[in-house]
Amino acid sequence: MPDTPDIADRHDAVCVIGAGASGLAAIKNLREAGFEVDCYERETSVGGAWNWRHDRSPVYAGTHLITSRPLTEFPDFPMPDTWPDYPDHKMVLSYLERYSAHFGLESDVWFGTEVVSVAPTGDGRWNVTTQSTGGGSSRVQRYAGVVVANGHNWSAARPEIPGDFRGQVIHSAQYKDPAQLRNRKVLVIGGGNTGCDIAVEAAQQATMVWHSTRRGYWYAPKYVFGRPADQVNARRIPLRLRQWLYRKAVGFTAGDLTRYGVPAPDHQPYESHPTVNSQLPYYLGHGRITAVPDVTEFDGGSVVLADGRRIEPDLVITATGYRPRFEFLAPELLDTAEDGRPDLHLHAFARKHPTLAVVGLVQADFGLFPLAHWQSVAVARWLRLRVTDPERATAVQQKESTRPVASWSKRRVVPTERHWFEVDHGDYLRAVEGLLREMETAA
Amino acid sequence: MLRYEDWTDPVPAAEREVVSLTEDARTDRPPLLFVPGLGHGAWAFAETWLPRAAARGFAAHALTPRPDGDLRAQVHDVVQVAASLPRQAVLVGQGAGALVVAYAMGRYPVRAAVLAAPVMDGWPTLGAALRANPFGTLPALFGGRLRLNRRQLFGPEMPAEDAQRFLERIVARPRRELVTHDPAPRPVGDPPVLVVGSPDDRVVPRTSLDRTATRYGSAPLLFPGMGHELMLDVTWADPIEAIVDWLEKELES
Ligand SMILES: Cc1cc2nc3c(=O)[nH]c(=O)nc-3n(C[C@H](O)[C@H](O)[C@H](O)COP(=O)(O)OP(=O)(O)OC[C@H]3O[C@@H](n4cnc5c(N)ncnc54)[C@H](O)[C@@H]3O)c2cc1C
Ligand SMILES: NC(=O)c1ccc[n+]([C@@H]2O[C@H](COP(=O)([O-])OP(=O)(O)OC[C@H]3O[C@@H](n4cnc5c(N)ncnc54)[C@H](OP(=O)(O)O)[C@@H]3O)[C@@H](O)[C@H]2O)c1
């Protein structure tokens, strides 16, 4: 493509899309590797999902971390050790704001600017088109690399339930405040962390609460043996032993929930993304939450369940999760399948485009920030190696980018969409460490 | 990368004494955090290097290590305080405090670091201590108090009563790991590191000083005639002025 005068060439600079936790880590680690960075953020402040002022933020007033502090903080910028084990969303936001201020990251962020297109130029570089969020004219700039950190918890996945419903149906993304539940008859669909949190808040606010899940889960307690449960389990021991520990933790605390009509899990612990909630069993036991099976149909004022029962809620909240979305990228760039699932090496590196990477597109039995940190360190070194030793970089890239997912992510998971990017934190970090080591011997 | 110990058994919080001078700080300059060595507290910097650095436009802080903290806890405290500062910090460690700083650099991307009279190699340091002060050192090998003497810590110019005053404040109970620890990790973020010391230091042998400097890619900046206590000895102003000069130059580039 010939140079057109309206494309501003940013030479060796790298473009980062999004200034949530993943984007901030990317800016910092790219800078440490010696890159100039331009980050575009459609909102007017940092924090991404954790900034409840953002219109796409999925957090609700009662959100607290489900992963405890030491497993959630960035590995090179700890949260204050005086903070609670499970800080709330405002604290997490203030942590991200402090991270950003501490490393002076905002000077590289263009706020209120949305990336609308990222197109390859054919020589490994990228034309990035941005537009101010309020509309206005667009601008094209050329970068040596693009790091996508746009988050995957903002585009709501809504179940298709046949029939018409007379009451109100909202997705959990629209749930913000317990007042929305007060004195209503509420059906919550989904056994992920959001669904269980909302079911518990409904138990405290609503007149009647049904909780519908299409399978049983290993609802983990937040504490066992007087310690945050994830800290007890984050050991260097085989998965089988960790599964045994997990079962024991559940056994010692809530016990077998089938006595409340909850289905038995159809999988082992860690084979579905962990749902951590100590209060759900409590409210089931107090009769404040009624467990029901999957919803099959809406019928006027009632909701039909898989066992043929009918219930009559006036508010249905579908806490059925989110899907990744990359509208600014042609699907083939990320090897995205028909169903929307990208195929990336280590869930981060585009297989055919060594200067394109995604950070934060993973989910684990662990905090996301440390994973996003190490991903962005690996991405930064990967891009750096292309500059310092292009031959070696190509060799590493060829070897790495053909590795199938199964070679580094051995965990079996329940085959639903929300588990596309589920990894075991230990296996995953070891895989990233392996890549870093390989690049190092190359240097 | 896989920090099982920190995930399953995090260092518990402890009260931390931090002495700070921030009034004259210029906003374009990173904060400095001074980390004292064995048996010392923030007091060791409070009357000398701290105000001098502050006078030159830096926010200056000094941390007192938690009582009885092991190396891991001390590193934890330094990283906690550094991360609590508004901007990316410069760490300055003296003596065994330099070892703590070297470890902290593996955990936190410092803006820059200074290792002053760094006690980095356990065995040579122990050898030097046994030669210079056998009777003060031996009890410490068996869990007792380390008794340091004036000739060990200060240059010949140091007035006896000043030295005595400081020696009384130093309550040193070295842990075995000061000798047996692993080599310090590689710093994250590739920061500039300055090593300063004295050829007449009777705690840190010259060879050890050179080895540390080589490890961080430079030669040591030397202050002949001074003892180990670079921030308390008579000419304490020289090293801190040189440190700040170096820092200013590094910040420009
Ligand atoms: C309710 C809830 C609770 C959670 N709890 C935990 C927890 O306990 N522990 C944990 O580790 N994780 C948790 N998570 C996961 C959470 O998503 C991550 O912690 C983290 O916020 C993800 O950060 P990110 O930067 O990858 O994405 P985001 O935080 O979503 O940030 C993406 C940013 O990119 C911007 N952006 C998107 N598209 C564009 C574009 N085209 N142009 C410009 N900017 C764009 C967005 O505005 C946003 O600021 C939770 C998620 C939810 C929904
Ligand atoms: N810190 C916190 O407190 C907190 C709170 C909320 C969320 N989070 C995090 O945010 C992310 C999103 O969580 P989430 O709970 O919103 O979503 P999620 O993890 O994707 O869970 C969605 C739930 O809905 C079910 N589901 C999906 N589609 C369905 C359908 N068509 N019909 C019936 N059920 C359906 C899923 O069942 P299957 O099991 O069959 O897929 C699952 O139980 C996760 O990483 C989570 O850990 C954290």
Confirm or reject contact between A93 and chain B (CB < 8 A). no
Q: Give the pLDDT score at A442.
A: 52
- When pLDDT is cut at 50, 70 and 90, the band that residue A5 belongs to is low
In chain B, what are the domains? 4-127+178-252 (3.40.50.1820)
- When pLDDT is cut at 50, 70 and 90, the band that residue A266 belongs to is very high
Q: Do A236 and B1 touch (CB under 8 A)?
A: no
B188 → closest Cβ in A70, A76, A235: A76
The beta strands (E) that lie in chain B are given as: 17-21, 32-35, 60-64, 90-94, 112-116, 193-197, 221-222
pLDDT mean over A46-50: 97
- When pLDDT is cut at 50, 70 and 90, the band that residue A137 belongs to is confident
- Does ligand 2 lie within 6 Å of residue A194's CB atom? yes
- Does ligand 2 lie within 6 Å of residue A215's CB atom? yes
**Per residue in A299-314, pLDDT tens?**
999 999 999 999 999 9
Given a contact cutoff of 8 angstroms between Cβ atoms, the answer to whether A132 and A40 are in contact is no
Question: Which of A29, A72, A76, A433 to substitute to test the interface with B, most B CBs within 10 Å?
Answer: A76
Instruction: Output the CA B182–ligand 1 centroid distance in Å.
Output: 38
Q: Give the pLDDT score at A404.
A: 86
Tell me which residue has its CA closest to atom 31 in ligand 2.
A159
Q: Do A102 and B88 touch (CB under 8 A)?
A: yes
Q: Do A231 and B83 touch (CB under 8 A)?
A: no
Residues 134-193 of chain A with CB under 8 A from chain B are none
Domain A168-318 in the same topology as domain A7-155+322-442: yes
- When pLDDT is cut at 50, 70 and 90, the band that residue A374 belongs to is very high
Q: Give the pLDDT score at A3.
A: 46
Q: Give the pLDDT score at B145.
A: 85
Q: Do B108 and A77 touch (CB under 8 A)?
A: yes
Average pLDDT over chain A, rounded to an integer: 95
CA B83 to CA A114: how far, in whole Å?
31
Structure-block tokens of residue A341: 């699932």
Cβ neighbours of B2 in A, within 8 Å: 236, 426, 429-430, 433
- When pLDDT is cut at 50, 70 and 90, the band that residue A409 belongs to is confident
Cβ neighbours of B108 in A, within 8 Å: 76-77
Instruction: Output the CA B6–ligand 2 centroid distance in Å.
Output: 28
Instruction: Output the CA A57–ligand 1 centroid distance in Å.
Output: 8
pLDDT mean over A196-221: 97
Which residue is closest to A73 within chain B, CA to CA? B7
Q: Give the pLDDT score at B75.
A: 98
Q: How many CB atoms lie within 10 A of CB B60?
A: 28
Which residue is closest to A375 within chain B, CA to CA? B1
Tell me which residue has its CA closest to atom 21 in ligand 1.
A49
Residue matched to tokens 């309206």 = A6
Number of the ligand 2 atom closest to the C-alpha atom of A368? 45
Q: What own/partner pairs with CB < 8 Å and gap ≥ 24 does A388-395 have?
A: A388/A443, A389/A442, A389/A443, A392/A442, A392/A443, A393/A354, A393/A442, A394/A354, A395/A442
Q: Give the pLDDT score at A2.
A: 44
Residues 374-403 of chain A with CB under 8 A from chain B are 374
CATH topology of domain A168-318: FAD/NAD(P)-binding domain (3.50.50)
- Does ligand 1 lie within 6 Å of residue A115's CB atom? yes
pLDDT surpasses 50 at A437: yes
Give the start-to-end residue ranges of the domains of chain A.
7-155+322-442, 168-318
Helix (H) or strand (E) holding A344: strand A344-345
Give the angle A67-A72-A78 at the CA atoms, nearest 5°: 140
Q: Give the pLDDT score at A1.
A: 42
Pairing state between β B221-222 and B112-116: unpaired
**Per residue in A96-114, pLDDT tens?**
999 999 999 999 999 999 9
Report residues of chain B scoring pLDDT below 50. Answer: none
Cβ neighbours of A430 in B, within 8 Å: 1-2
Tell me which residue has its CA closest to atom 16 in ligand 2.
A321
Tell me how many residue pairs between chain A and chain B have CB atoms under 8 A apart.
66
Q: Give the pLDDT score at B253.
A: 81
Tell me which residue has its CA closest to atom 29 in ligand 2.
A320
Which residue is closest to A436 within chain B, CA to CA? B1
pLDDT surpasses 90 at A11: yes
- Does ligand 2 lie within 6 Å of residue A386's CB atom? no
Q: Give the pLDDT score at A4.
A: 52
Identify the DSSP state of A8: E
pLDDT surpasses 80 at A443: no
**Per residue in B236-251, pLDDT tens?**
999 999 999 999 999 9
A429 → closest Cβ in B2, B10, B76: B2
A7-155+322-442 classified as CATH 3.50.50.60:
yes
Of residues A92 and B177, more confidence is placed in A92
CA A430 to CA A122: how far, in whole Å?
33
Phi (first) and psi of residue A245, to 5 degrees: -60, -45
Q: Do A78 and B8 touch (CB under 8 A)?
A: no
- When pLDDT is cut at 50, 70 and 90, the band that residue A45 belongs to is very high
Given a contact cutoff of 8 angstroms between Cβ atoms, the answer to whether A384 and A175 are in contact is no
Spell out which chain B residues touch chain A, with contact meaning CB-CB distance below 8 angstroms: 1-4, 6-13, 76, 79-80, 83-88, 107-109, 188-190
| Lowest-confidence pick of A203-217, A236-250, A271-285, A340-354 | A236-250
Q: State the burial class of residue A223 (Cβ atoms within 10 Å of its Cβ: 0-12, 13-18, 19+).
A: middle
Question: Which of A28, A35, A81 to substitute to test the interface with B, most B CBs within 10 Å?
Answer: A81
Residue B247's identity, in one-letter code, is L
Question: Which of B3, B4, B7 to substitute to test the interface with A, most A CBs within 10 Å?
Answer: B7
Closest C-alpha among A425, A377, A368, A431 to residue A73: A368
Identify the DSSP state of A57: -
Q: Assign A315 to helix, strand or coil.
A: strand
Average pLDDT over chain B, rounded to an integer: 95
